[in-house]
Amino acid sequence: MGGWEDRRVRWDLRLESPGPATRVEIACGASRDLLRDLEELSGTFFLVLDQGFQEGHKTLAESLSEKASGVALIPGGESHKTPEQLIRLCSHIVGAGLGRGDRVVVLGGGAVLDLGGLAAALVLRGLPLIQVPTTLLSAVDACLGGKCAVDLPEGRNLLGAFHFAERIVVDPELLGTLPKTEFSSGLGEVAKYGLGFSKILMDWLREIPPLNAQTSPKLLEELVHRCLRIKSDVVLEDPWEKKGLRRTLNLGHSLAHALEALAGPDTLNHGNAVALGLRAELRIGKLSPSEQREGEAFLDHLGLPNAFEQVLPSTPKLEELRVFFSRDKKREGEWIHEPRIHSLGGCHVERLKASSYLEDAFSALV
């Protein structure tokens, strides 16, 4: 066996609960094998396709659609991650006549994976699910971990469930059609894994050529593997977010979610919002000045934003942000469980006064 080039990465994420493990598979070309694999499985499948993905990958989308019992084409983006879209999708799946042994197969960005995953969790009290992420962000993060949700007018991801996929298939060749901004959004979550979980990942990212939508699929394969391994280890330790460990994966996200909700759907992409949350954490956290500079230089290296104005039409108002911040799922009354970077490549969760944290994080960015 030679280097990375020869390997097809596979592992099973086996949870503490009874039931099947999630098979995680990362390989260039893996999506081409999916059709054959689906034909070999018992039962039929319902296909949920992200429209943005489908437009760039018509051949794969068509060959999968021909074999499916039903197909739903869902526009990508946050504005479609709604209860109304969820109900329509559930009806469509039921209408296609799926039974308990059949599957839901979702190909899409994080928004469509979240929506399709939740529909799979709800129809017939849960159908087996296969997730195929098609954006960088969904490949390094959203596809794994069982969380699926839609948004409510009151805030992001407030209507959701845990539903672990039986299989996750990541094919980096599918990412070649991503617009520049969507690729860069994925780097926000990549940066989270580096700053909060792995100095080795940070060092590796600083050694390789700058990542962009033209980066070779082979290099992306390694990137996805490094990131999903980190997430997989955390999820295995705390699958249902009971021990607090899984909350570390929300590093930079409290501020990010409030900013996204304030900006409105599809205005500020998730990864850029996370990048701002990470910047704020670096500036107000416990790092030495040299570590802070190193952390910021790392975000600069990935081309991530460093101020509100770079990604929003204007600086948000603190009082407006407070409204959305108060709806954060990590809140307990006036407290929030917030991941903090204790040293580059490591983070832990602290219980903090929510209002003080928001004020500090906001001030760090204006």
Ligand X SMILES: NC(=O)c1ccc[n+]([C@@H]2O[C@H](COP(=O)([O-])OP(=O)(O)OC[C@H]3O[C@@H](n4cnc5c(N)ncnc54)[C@H](O)[C@@H]3O)[C@@H](O)[C@H]2O)c1
Find, among 80, 77, 68, 53, the residue nearest to 105 by Cα. Answer: 68
- Picking from 171, 196, 246, the residue whose alpha carbon sits closest to that of residue 15 is 246
Closer residue to ligand X (CB): 132 or 284: 132
H or E segment and range at residue 128:
none
Pick 246 or 284: Cβ nearer ligand X:
246
Q: Which is nearer to ligand X, 108 or 194 (CB)?
A: 108
What are the residues binding ligand X (CB under 6 A)? 50-53, 56, 76-78, 81, 108-112, 114, 134-135, 137-138, 141-142, 145, 147-148, 157, 174-175, 177-178, 182, 185, 270
* Closest distance to ligand X from the beta carbon of 136 (Å): 8
**Is 274:252 a contact under the CB 8 Å cutoff?**
yes
Q: Which H or E run contains 14?
A: none
CA–CA distance, 168 with 148 (Å, rounded to integer): 14
CA distance linking residue 347 with residue 344, whole number of Å: 8
DSSP string, 73-117: EE--SGGG-SHHHHHHHHHHHHHTT--TT-EEEEEESHHHHHHHH
- Of 142 and 202, which CB lies nearer to ligand X in the complex structure? 142
To ligand X, the closest distance from the beta carbon of 157 in angstroms equals 6
Contact 177, 60 (CB under 8 A): no
Residue 30 or 284 with smaller CB distance to ligand X = 30
The structure tokens listed for 352 are: 């903090």
Nearer CB in complex with ligand X: 147/167: 147
For the bound state, the minimum distance from the C-beta of residue 288 to ligand X, rounded and expressed in Å, comes to 30
Beta carbon of residue 250, minimum distance to ligand X (angstroms, whole number): 10
CB of 117 to ligand X, least distance (A): 7
Rounded to the nearest whole angstrom, what is the least distance from the CB of residue 54 to ligand X in the complex?
8
Are 327 and 336 within 8 A, CB to CB? no
